[in-house]
């Protein structure tokens, strides 16, 4: 039998249903691939092959994701497994329940498997902020995989998983997908329940899939989407088949090119690949329209006020009382809190809690937080106006190729600017997807470039259809190449 680890979910299911191989074979293929490459890649923080094999033996392959093992970012609770969020403060924590996205994956027959590395509490763009290990980009192991869902992206690229779940607060699915040469989808805000996703910035966070095809991402979204009484921001919408728009061309599709996303200073090689992809979409029948999102330059500033403000409130729960790390021998309660949080949190998390506390503090609230919320309105309005003229936007996912490990760790602002093309989608609550659109040679290695499509709120079916049409024509060389 040839190596199963490189198959897509659709190919895997065809094999399961024809009896060519079974889910236990798939788990064993992933196991042997992880054993051989994860010592270099370091995508996984934990994995339990025995329980995955036990689940595979009982799997019902007639279900939509029957018997498919799915890797999980270590910020989403899976009953009985660790959920460290890449932080020392949650070392030893075992999830007492399943996140709704996990219950839904199980109901669709999937096997949640393994815990994937990430920037601590999803704060970062390189996965270097993990308290546990540095995940490496499979295309060049001296480089970062992107972040914060770097483990989820690297595992899919390195064939250590067929598909994974990540979370996207400012680009944490799309940017690592771009840098690792895989497909990553951020659903619209409210599409997927956040229950059981450890909160970073509650008005921006959304769970989404990574896979080696748009079709697989659509199948994953079919499984995890839907209203959940446990997340009051999840939306009650008619059931939808997100694969319904796949397999078409782009005739009659209007794609907007936001001029602010083609700025001086971005890597010219990325620009060339993205522009070539845009021409390819035109040749597939798309009509191209230049649009403007005039408040784009403010998105990073708005994001780092709103996201840190929300984080400072959300992370107040890590107080060393009910779970997680507690400082030894505190002199009093204040000392207990302060040393617990000093010892448990890493630098980036402390930086963001301090910034968020500052922008919410008396005397600065109006100047920073309220003003940022108002500019957020302007950013949303930019998208609403653009989507009156076009069906979706097409642009780069990241202004950078994967950068070297260590290159930006001491320059937080420069690290924040890596998210410049992804952040606005979270502020506006729209959906977005990154698909590979080219390889650029750097230091003798091939590095992937990501193409981003942004869709209207809750327009995932169309967004996935557009991404699939491009992917069939333009991404295959990268998606089928094992880095």
Partner 1 sequence: MSSPNLDVRDVARLARIELSDEEASTFQSQLGSVLEYVEQLGKLDVSQVEPTAHAAPVFNVFREDVAKLGLERAAVLANAPHAANNLVIVTKVIE
Active-site residue numbers? Answer: 73, 148, 172
Give the residue, chosen from 21, 263, 276, 358, that forms a contact with partner 1 under the rule CB under 8 A.
358
Give the residue, chosen from 368, 387, 403, 453, that forms a contact with partner 1 under the rule CB under 8 A.
368
Report 396-455 residues binding partner 1 (CB under 8 A): 412-413, 416, 426-429
Give the residue, chosen from 17, 374, 384, 406, that forms a contact with partner 1 under the rule CB under 8 A.
374
Q: Is 305 in the site for partner 1 (CB under 8 A)?
A: yes
CA–CA distance from 355 to each of 115, 311, 312, 326, 335 (Å)? Answer: 29, 10, 8, 24, 21
Q: Is 300 in the site for partner 1 (CB under 8 A)?
A: yes
- Convert 149-181 into a string of H (helix), E (strand) and C (coil): CHHHHHHHHCCCCCEEEEECCCCCCHHHHHHHC
Q: Is 320 in the site for partner 1 (CB under 8 A)?
A: yes
Give the residue, chosen from 364, 385, 389, 480, that forms a contact with partner 1 under the rule CB under 8 A.
364
Q: Is 247 in the site for partner 1 (CB under 8 A)?
A: no
* C-beta closer to partner 1: residue 21 or 358: 358
- Convert the chain into a string of H (helix), E (strand) and C (coil): CCCHHHCCHHHHHHHHHHCCCCHHHHHHHHHHHHHHHHHHHCCEEECCHHHHHHHHHCCCCCCCCCCCEEEEECCECCCCCECCCCCHHHCCCECCCCCHHHHHHHHCCCEEEEEECCCHHHCCCCCCCCCCCCCCECCECCECCCCCCHHHHHHHHCCCCCEEEEECCCCCCHHHHHHHCCEEEECCCCCECCCCECCCCCCCCCEEEEECCHHHHHHHHHHHECCECCECCCCCCCCCCCCCCCCCCCCCCEEEEEHHHCCCCCCHHHHHHHHHHHHHHHHCCCEEEEECCCCHHHHHHHHHHHHHHHHHHHHHHCCCCCCCCCCCCCCCHHHHHHHHHHHHCCHHHHHHHHHHHHHHCCCCHHHHHHHHHHHHHHHHHHHHHHHHHCCEEEEECCCCCCCECCCCCCCHHHHHHCCCCCHHHHHHCCEEEEEEEEEEEECCEEEEEEEEEEECCCCHHHHHHHHHHHHHHHCHHHHCCCC
Q: Is 370 in the site for partner 1 (CB under 8 A)?
A: yes
Report 56-115 residues binding partner 1 (CB under 8 A): 93-94, 96-97
Least separation, in Å, of the C-beta of 351 and partner 1?
6
Give the residue, chosen from 88, 254, 371, 445, that forms a contact with partner 1 under the rule CB under 8 A.
371
Q: Is 321 in the site for partner 1 (CB under 8 A)?
A: yes
String marking each residue 258-297 x if it binds partner 1 according to CB under 8 A: -------------------------------------x-x
Rounded-to-integer distance, Cα 235 and Cα 247, Å: 27
Give the residue, chosen from 4, 9, 372, 402, that forms a contact with partner 1 under the rule CB under 8 A.
372
Give the residue, chosen from 259, 350, 445, 481, that forms a contact with partner 1 under the rule CB under 8 A.
350
The piece of 61-69, 164-172, 340-348, 435-443 that touches partner 1 (CB under 8 A) is 340-348
Least separation, in Å, of the C-beta of 75 and partner 1?
16
String marking each residue 134-163 x if it binds partner 1 according to CB under 8 A: ------------------------------
Rounded-to-integer distance, Cα 290 and Cα 306, Å: 29
Give the residue, chosen from 39, 322, 441, 443, that forms a contact with partner 1 under the rule CB under 8 A.
322
The piece of 67-75, 210-218, 319-327, 459-467 that touches partner 1 (CB under 8 A) is 319-327
Rounded-to-integer distance, Cα 317 and Cα 300, Å: 26
Check if the beta carbon of residue 171 is closer than 8 Å to that of residue 399: no
* C-beta closer to partner 1: residue 357 or 472: 357
String marking each residue 183-202 x if it binds partner 1 according to CB under 8 A: ------xx------------
* C-beta closer to partner 1: residue 268 or 333: 333
* C-beta closer to partner 1: residue 350 or 404: 350
Least separation, in Å, of the C-beta of 348 and partner 1?
10
Check if the beta carbon of residue 274 is closer than 8 Å to that of residue 451: yes
Least separation, in Å, of the C-beta of 190 and partner 1?
4
Least separation, in Å, of the C-beta of 255 and partner 1?
23
The piece of 119-127, 175-183, 350-358, 471-479 that touches partner 1 (CB under 8 A) is 350-358
Phi, psi of 323 (to 5 degrees): -160, 165
The piece of 106-114, 121-129, 232-240, 401-409 that touches partner 1 (CB under 8 A) is 232-240
- Site for partner 1, rule CB under 8 A: 93-94, 96-97, 189-190, 203-204, 229, 232-233, 235, 295, 297-298, 300-302, 304-305, 312, 316, 319-326, 330, 332-334, 336-339, 341-342, 345, 347, 350-351, 353-355, 357-358, 361, 364, 368, 370-378, 380, 412-413, 416, 426-429, 457
């Amino acid at each position: 039998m040839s190596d199963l680890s490189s198959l897509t979910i659709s190919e895997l299911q065809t094999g399961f249903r024809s009896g060519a191989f079974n889910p236990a074979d798939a788990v064993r293929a992933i196991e042997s691939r992880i054993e051989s490459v994860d010592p270099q890649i370091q995508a996984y923080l934990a994995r339990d092959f025995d329980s995955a094999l036990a689940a595979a033996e009982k799997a019902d392959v007639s279900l939509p994701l029957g018997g498919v093992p799915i890797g999980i970012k270590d910020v989403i609770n899976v009953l009985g497994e660790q959920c460290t969020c890449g932080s020392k403060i949650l070392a030893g924590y075992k999830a007492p329940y399943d996140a709704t996205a996990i219950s839904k994956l199980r109901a669709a027959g999937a096997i949640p498997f393994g815990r994937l590395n990430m920037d601590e509490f999803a704060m970062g763009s390189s996965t270097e902020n993990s308290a546990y290990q540095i995940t490496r980009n499979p295309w060049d192991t001296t480089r970062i995989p992107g972040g914060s869902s770097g483990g989820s992206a690297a595992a899919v690229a390195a064939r250590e998983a067929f598909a994974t779940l990540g979370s996207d607060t400012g680009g944490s699915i799309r940017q690592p997908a771009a840098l690792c040469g895989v497909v990553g989808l951020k659903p619209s805000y409210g599409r997927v329940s956040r229950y059981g996703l450890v909160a970073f910035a509650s008005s921006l966070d959304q769970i989404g899939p990574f896979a080696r095809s748009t079709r697989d991402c659509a199948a994953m979204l079919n499984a995890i989407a839907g209203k959940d009484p446990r997340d009051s921001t999840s939306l009650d919408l008619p059931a939808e088949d997100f694969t319904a728009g796949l397999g078409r061309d782009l005739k009659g599709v209007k794609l907007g090119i936001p001029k602010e996303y083609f700025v001086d200073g971005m890597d010219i090689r990325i620009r060339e690949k993205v522009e070539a992809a845009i021409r390819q979409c035109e040749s597939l029948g798309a009509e191209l329209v230049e649009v403007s999102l005039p408040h784009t330059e403010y998105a990073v500033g708005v994001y780092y006020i709103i996201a840190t403000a929300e984080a400072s409130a959300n992370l107040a729960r890590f107080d060393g009382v009910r779970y997680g790390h507690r400082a030894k021998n505190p002199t009093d309660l204040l000392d207990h809190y302060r040393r617990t949080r000093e010892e448990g949190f890493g630098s980036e998390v402390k930086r963001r809690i301090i910034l968020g506390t500052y922008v919410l503090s008396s005397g600065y609230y109006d100047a920073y937080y309220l003003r940022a919320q108002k500019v957020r309105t302007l950013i949303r309005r930019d998208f609403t106006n653009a989507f009156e003229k076009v069906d979706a936007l097409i642009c780069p996912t990241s202004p950078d190729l994967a950068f070297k490990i260590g290159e930006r760790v001491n320059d937080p602002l420069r690290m924040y600017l890596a998210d410049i093309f992804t952040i606005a989608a979270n502020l506006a609550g729209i959906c977005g997807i990154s698909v590979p659109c080219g390889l650029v040679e750097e230091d003798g290695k091939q590095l992937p470039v990501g193409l981003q499509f942004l869709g209207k709120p809750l327009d995932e079916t169309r967004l996935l259809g557009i991404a699939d049409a491009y992917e069939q024509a333009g991404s295959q060389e990268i998606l089928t190449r094992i880095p």
